[in-house]
Amino acid sequence: MRGPSLQRRLMAVVLLSVTALTAGLLLAGRFYIHRQLLRGLDDSLEGRAMSVAALVRYPEDGSTDLVFERGLLPASLDPRGRDKYQVIGPNGQVLEQSKDWPKDWNFATSSSRRSQYAWLENEQYRTACLRNVPILDEETGIPVSAKQLLTVSYATSTEGIGRQLTTLTAEIAASGLVLLIMSGLIVLLGIRHSLRPLRDLAEQAGAVSPRNWSFAAPESARSVAELQPLIASIDTMLGGLQRAFDQQRDFLASAAHELKTPVAIQKSSLQLLIHKPRTADEYRSGLRQCLTDTERLEDLLQRLLRLARADQWAQGAANRDLTPQLLSASCEASVARFRDWATTRGVALNLVTNGDLRVLADADDLELIWGNLLENAIRYSPSGKSVTVTIAHESQAALVSVADEGCGIGAEELPRIFERFYRGDPSRSRETGGVGLGLAIVKTLVEAYGGSTTVSSEPDVGTTFVVRLPAISG
Amino acid sequence: MRILVVEDERRLAQNISRALREDCSYAVDVASNGADGLFLAGSSEYDLIVLDLMLPKIDGATLLRRHRQSGKRTPVLVLTARDEKESVVALLNAGADDYLTKPFDLGELLARVKALIRRGKGHATPVLKVGDLEVNTIEKSVRRGGARVELSPMEYRVLEYLAHRPRAVVSKSELLEHLYDFNWEKFSNVLEVYVSGLRKKLGHEAHPLIHTVRGQGYVLRDGV
């Protein structure tokens, strides 16, 4: 199912506007031509009327009866010879008129216009009416008398100009059609050409896959200003997608390693035990070893469950009754728990408290958060250095920072340390650390309480984790 | 036979080496990181390397590549937690001979180790034959002329190594290198005791199989 095509839309818009333009031109042209033709016709009619008027003479014998020289009538404007005329004398009597002059035609009244339309047997006529035309002397051409004035009407069929108008309109319409077709073709080619960069871009973007993230916008697309924002967002989106994909892949690989290794150990231990008959003592020590191996799997499961619970809690899916916890007491308990281990590693543990700040939380969760942070700090501290836990107050928040004086965390690693199963050591060796869930658990738990965890680190100076929790008054 | 296990999971390394020692009576050395593994692989003669991929200091794939670059042809069995096709293909292309995904079956590991060692020495079947002598490397039993010969574990190891390379002169130091791991003191006179025991048990004074090449070592061959 394809939506309306951009190309077709553009075409439609352009063709519609060209059509509207042509139609407008046609109407305006027709109106103008009609006016010009009518003006020409009116001029001709007046000329004819003047010529007819000039045929009225005083007789040479001096009598007062006016004569009309019918033999000198001008040629008819109508090719069929249907022109009509009427001459009304000074006294209002019809002096002369063509034989077919309709009885009901009367344009001589002073109110009527010089030129007007008239109808006769469903045929339109254009008439001109000249009033107060003087009778001219035949030889001198000078009006004989100012009082002897004529009224002359002349009419001809408008069929002639109607035909001309139709012909001219048809010609304009034909050229308009040619214009329409030509502009349509030009627009089609133009749009196709302009849309090519878009197609190139789509093709290039279509080649991107989780196996191949490389995307370079084609030159043709990069040179188009309108496509710049699109290219920029494709780049940004692909970068984000790639990070998400890589993170997911790393997560799977790390989780597989963490889950498979204890299973592999246990399986091989058991297989070794049943491989051949052994003494009761050997079986006993073998089973004891298997139990120890199981503890590692148990520990991993426990961490995963804690994380899942924190997730659930963070998403608001679980309800718990929380009680206000005194931060100093909570941190003190955790520090006390780690003091022996720190001492055996030659690391000093300091606690700096600030008043009796309280947070609304579960006591076990808080202990887990401080415990994980302390465990990391002590593990990565060389002998002779110290780890300091500081409780501080900042407007509505309680701040607990755990600072060590270890070797620090590299800038490229720092953003990833809260990822689940992330380990700085790619070998994920048991000798150098845990399973990589400790900090993820801290982050998820703290966020579940509406707080945040941040980290800053400087090589060879140390690393500081800051947990910010909403403080409650009282 | 002497095997190098490069595995940073202490418990897993323990189990693998114990199984190799118990089941195959191989000499086993363990390296717990890539750097140690690469050093050991380059400094001693091993008949097989069991290599984990995720290792501290030098990862398994790099170790494998460097080991092959230095011209070593020791068979390598890789242990991996990943079983995606691409990583397996990359591994085999980098010079691995076989691979097992974790969690693996210990019995399968042992069978693959034996097969790799056998093939590494140019034998297609697990029963090695020299004249009328048959060494079954699966059952670890020895027959001469169809009659079963009972050997002590060390005597068997000496004979199996020699049977893998029939008609070739094997020096005493080479034998010692392949029979003992680093945890054992190496005494060449102990070797002489095993060889003389072997000769006695294999019998047929008229047609001895193990010959001494003076100043060079031993050779296993049919006839003089």
Please give chain A's pLDDT, 474 residues, in tens: 466 787 888 888 888 998 898 899 889 989 999 999 999 999 999 999 888 888 888 777 766 677 888 888 888 888 888 888 988 888 888 888 888 888 888 887 766 678 888 888 888 899 998 888 888 777 777 777 777 788 889 999 988 888 999 998 899 889 888 988 998 899 889 888 888 888 888 888 888 887 888 888 888 888 888 888 988 998 899 888 888 888 888 888 888 888 888 889 999 999 999 888 889 999 999 999 899 888 888 988 888 888 888 888 777 756 677 888 999 999 999 999 999 999 999 999 999 987 788 998 888 889 999 999 999 899 889 999 999 999 998 888 999 999 999 888 888 888 888 888 888 777 777 767 778 888 998 998 898 888 999 999 998 889 999 999 998 875
Angle (nearest 5°) at CA A104 between A98 and A107: 75
Q: Give the strand pairing for A149-157 and B2-6.
A: unpaired
Q: Which two tokens stand for residue A106?
A: 């009367």
* Spatial contact of A327 and A363, defined as CB atoms under 8 Å apart: no
| Inter-chain residue contact A264 with B103, CB threshold 8 Å | yes
Q: What is the pLDDT of residues A201-252, one digit of tens each?
A: 888 888 888 788 888 888 888 888 888 898 899 889 988 888 888 888 888 8
Do B2-120 and B127-220 agree at the fold level? no
Residues of chain A found within 8 Å of residue B9, distances taken between Cβ atoms? 261, 264-265, 430
ipTM over 0.85: no
Strand partners, A403: A388, A464
B72 to chain A, minimum CA–CA distance in Å? 24
CATH class entry, domain B2-120: alpha beta
Q: Helix A159-206 vs helix A6-53: angle between axes, to the nearest 10 degrees?
A: 170
Residue from the list B18, B55, B59 with its beta carbon closest to the beta carbon of A272: B18
| Inter-chain residue contact A276 with B15, CB threshold 8 Å | no
Residues of chain A found within 8 Å of residue B106, distances taken between Cβ atoms? 267-268, 271-272, 275
B85 to chain A, minimum CA–CA distance in Å? 13
* Spatial contact of B116 and B95, defined as CB atoms under 8 Å apart: no
For residue B122, what is the enclosing H or E element? none
B147 to chain A, minimum CA–CA distance in Å? 26
Residues of chain A found within 8 Å of residue B80, distances taken between Cβ atoms? none
pLDDT at B189: 73
- Taking the whole predicted model, whether its pTM rises above 0.80 is answered as no
Q: What is the pLDDT of residues B30-82, one digit of tens each?
A: 999 999 999 999 888 899 999 998 888 888 889 999 999 998 889 999 998 77
Give the span between the Cα atoms of A43 and A51, in whole angstroms: 12
| Inter-chain residue contact A427 with B107, CB threshold 8 Å | no
| Inter-chain residue contact B12 with A271, CB threshold 8 Å | no
**Backbone dihedral region of A368: left (phi > 0), alpha (psi from -120 to 50 degrees) or beta?**
alpha
Q: Give the strand pairing for A386-394 and A348-352.
A: parallel
3-state DSSP assignment of residue A75: coil
Residues 51-110 of B with CB under 8 A from A: 54-57, 59, 81-82, 101-107
In CATH, the number for domain B127-220 is 1.10.10.10
DSSP-derived letter for residue A63 is -
Q: Where are the beta strands (DSSP E) in B158-209?
A: 169-170
B105 to chain A, minimum CA–CA distance in Å? 7
Residues of chain B found within 8 Å of residue A272, distances taken between Cβ atoms? 15, 18-19, 22, 106
Domain layout of chain B by residue ranges: 2-120, 127-220
Residues 315-374 of A with CB under 8 A from B: none
Residues of chain A found within 8 Å of residue B50, distances taken between Cβ atoms? none
Q: How many CB atoms lie within 10 A of CB A420?
A: 19
Give the span between the Cα atoms of A112 and A101, in whole angstroms: 18
